[in-house]
Amino acid sequence: MNQAADNLRDSSGAAVRPPIAWALAAIAGLAFDWLYPRPFLPAAVPVGWLGGIVFLAGLGLLIWAATTFRRAGTQIQTTQPTSAIVEEGPYRFTRNPIYIGMFLGLTGLAIAFDSLWLIALLVLFYLVIRYGVVAREEAYLERKFGDVYVAYKARVRRWL
């Protein structure tokens, strides 16, 4: 059997690659906002600054989490085998800091562009990530690591 087939079997089988889902949500939200703007914040809110801060907080969390994965020597991509349960860095507080970073990024864009469309697509993005990615990752990690992952799951919350 070739390595590609082995990797396919030794992976979460996520329904979608999270960065692609994120980009599609962001692009669709901005396109809908351009075609049919739906603001949701009061005019007095400094949307650019506030949105930028939230976006950068999400980006920072995502980078911290990805760097922690790399240092542990395990894969970030959902299509690749996981070699370890990472419990350092942001993984002490949440099992999914990369996805939280992505949620914050979309929230920051929604605020910066004052776009209700981006908020609506954030909800859809959450549902896709929660049920199409995280649920499959959790089942995969439990199969692969057994009690080690179950104990980690008992100690650390899925989100926050």
> 33-64, pLDDT tens digit by residue?
999 999 999 999 999 999 999 999 999 999 99
Q: For the chain, which residues make up each domain, given as ranges?
A: 17-155
d(CA 114, CA 38): 8
For 17-155, CATH gives 1.20.120.1630
pLDDT at 2: 44
pLDDT for 97-121, tens place per residue?
999 999 999 999 999 999 999 999 9
Mean pLDDT of 1-7: 44
Q: How confident is the model at residue 71 (pLDDT cuts 50, 70, 90)?
A: very high
Mean pLDDT of 150-160: 96
Please determine, for residue 156, whether its predicted confidence score (pLDDT) is greater than 60: yes
pLDDT for 8-24, tens place per residue?
578 888 899 999 999 99
Q: Could you tell me the pTM of the whole model?
A: 0.91
